[in-house]
Every structure is written in structure tokens, then in C-alpha cells.
Amino acid sequence: MGTKVTKSKAKTGSAGKYPLNETKQLELYQKMAECRALQQRAHDLFMQNLVKGTTHLGLGQEAIAAGFGAAMREDDYTFNTYRGHNHNYVRGVSMTAILGELMGRDIGQLRGKGGSMHITDTTKGAMGSYAIIGAHMPIAAGAAWSAQYRGTEQAAVCFFGDGTTNIGTFHEALNFAAVWKLPVVYVCENNQYMEYTAIGDVTAVPNPAADRAASYGLPSILVDGNDAEVMYETAMAALEKARSGGGPTLIEAVTYRHYGHSRADPGKYRPDEEVAEWKNNRDPVPNYRNKLLAAGMDESKLAAIDANTEEMVDKATEEAKSSGPPPDEIAFTDVWADGGAAWRN
């Protein structure tokens, strides 16, 4: 049983402070469409037994990454969890590199040394995908501290799931960031299940992040995480606050994952009608497409994005598949700054 989310509780619609022109709207749609195609392809490759290890998909959660991706500055920092393909992709990490990493190919973003749960591209500000729940929350605070000390007006954005709100680092990081007024934005993607258990069954408050904000002197922010425009506006406000010295923001974005926790999980603990409701009526990608059309967007522009996305993901898949496994020698590199693994003379 999932947390009941009502539209009246979640913020919807445009606040108007950060107007979206057509270019920005198309960017939001494009980012979501590409994330969707990438994740769907990762799923399909897994089913073909081409993905090594596990993978955690963010299908259904694209609007949050897209909203932030469209709002962030190039030199901002992203920290995310193992369910992080969307967040990395919207910062500019290549589809080929992500799919290649999932398939354990040499062309993979980390040449197979990280895997699906650890996609990182520091050249894009994608500062890593972390697979220990909550571990990255203080690390994001540290990157924000660094930006504050260096006076760069960069912000760090840290994405995490609803389950993270019950682990110690969540509380340590928020208190620390609030006391030091750090330019960090914490984004709880409440997809309503911590792994296989409904978050409401194991959490003392109905809204796992928003209801805790007061403990750190922060406003409670609960938004519709399946509305890309709401996410964009929420991101813009939080980033502006961070850059202007206003300190951290904690956002709870309500969403839903279309598949199970990982590819090992069919997600059967969720009621069929709940899954159907979110997939059929509250899917952020087609909903945004329909919204844009209803507002008068020229369909050919959206169709062009759709066609291009399909082509991109096919090309990335072929590129990744054509790469072989990494060479043996890289197993023994990059433990230390000297490039090697030696611990003795």
C-alpha cells in the first residue's frame, strides 16, 4: 500500500516566477523523453541478459531529473543514488557511456569498474552515484562547503529516495548543512516504496522528508514530482536560494517507479490498481506531452524529439554493443593517485 498523495496536498501549476518559454518546455520534454528511452532500453537489455549485475531503473521518475537538469548551471554538482541514470544523463553523460557501463563494456563510462550503481562524470559535474543509502548526503554538503569557501556560487544537488529519510546521514547532513548555511539542495524522490516495503509502513510521519524539514529550521516543501514544470520551478527557487547565501533546501517530490526496486524485483507487493493508476494516468512523460499539445505546442516539434530520441538510443545501444570487455590490466589501476595499486615497496 502506497502513501496516498492528493493533488491538493502537492503543489501543482506554475508559480510564474520562472516563466518557461517554448525552448525551455521542449528541453524539459526532450530530457524526459530521452531518460525514458534510455531507461526502457536498459530494461530491455537486461531482459536480453546483456546487463551484468543489477540495475535500478527510474522509469516514471523522469520529471524530477529533467526539471533539475534544465535548471542547473553547468558547473553545479549532482550527487545521486544507484537509481541515478536519469540524473547523470540530464547533466550530459552520454547514453553510450551509460549503456556501455551497464553492459560491462570498455566503452562504459567507468570501463566496468563502477557498474550501473556508480555512474560518474566529474567533467559534467555528475559527482557520482552512491549505493549506500544516505552516504552521499554529507558528501554533497562537503561539495557545497567547498563552493561556499571558494566563493563560486555553485550549488550541489543531492537526490535520494524516501527510504533514505530514515537513516542517520539524512539527519546529520541536513543539520550540518543548515547550521553552516551550505548551498545544497536535497531532493527526496518519494516513489512511495523503500525497496519492497511501503514507506508509510515504516515511517513515523506521512511525508517522510517534508514533515522532517522543520527539525532543521527549513520550510516544508512537498511537490508533484511527476510534473516537469513544477520541478523546474522548484529547482530554480532552491538554486537561487543556495547561490544567494540562503542555505539549504529540502524538497519532497512525490512520484512512482514503474518497475520494481531493482531488476531482481517484479514489484508484486504493490496493488495492481495502484500501479495502473500511476502508469496510465500519472505518467510524467505522456502527460507532459499532452499538456504541451493542449497548450498549443506544434506537434511536429514533439514528434521530431520522439524520432530523434529513438534514433539516439538505437545508436548508443549499437555503439555500446560493439565495444568489447575492458582489458585485464585496468583491474590494477587507480587505487592511488599515482595510478597504481601498490601498497608496499
Element (H, E) at 96: helix 95-102
Among 168, 296, 324, 327, binds other proteins (CB under 8 A): 168
329 binds other proteins (CB under 8 A): no
Q: Does 137 bind other proteins (CB under 8 A)?
A: yes
C-alpha cell at 118: 556508480
C-alpha cell at 239: 538554486
User: Which DSSP string do the residues of 179-214 spell out, in sequence order?
Assistant: HTT--EEEEEEE-SEETTEEGGGG-SSSSTTGGGGG
DSSP 247: -
Q: Give the other-Cβ count within 10 Å of 131's Cβ.
A: 18
Give the contacts of 305 (CB within 8 A, at least 6 positions apart).
26, 29, 30, 33
* Contact region with other proteins (CB under 8 A), list: 38-46, 54-62, 166-174, 258-266: 166-174
Smallest gap from Cβ 225 to other proteins, in A, equals: 25
Nearer to other proteins, 136 or 258 (CB): 136
Least distance (Å) from other proteins to the CB of residue 81?
Answer: 13
Smallest distance from other proteins to CB 58, Å: 20
Query: Which parts of 99-128 interact with other proteins (CB under 8 A)?
Result: 109-111, 113-114, 118, 120-123, 127-128
Question: Which residues on adjacent β-strands are paired with residue 79?
Answer: 158
As measured in angstroms, the least distance from the Cβ of 338 to other proteins is: 8
Contact region with other proteins (CB under 8 A), list: 21-29, 167-175, 241-249, 296-304: 167-175
The candidate with the shortest Cα–Cα distance to 226, out of 70, 65, 42, is 65
By CB under 8 A, name the binding residues for other proteins.
77, 109-111, 113-114, 118, 120-123, 127-128, 130, 132, 135-147, 149-150, 156, 168-169, 172-173, 175-176, 179-180, 330, 333-337, 339, 341-345
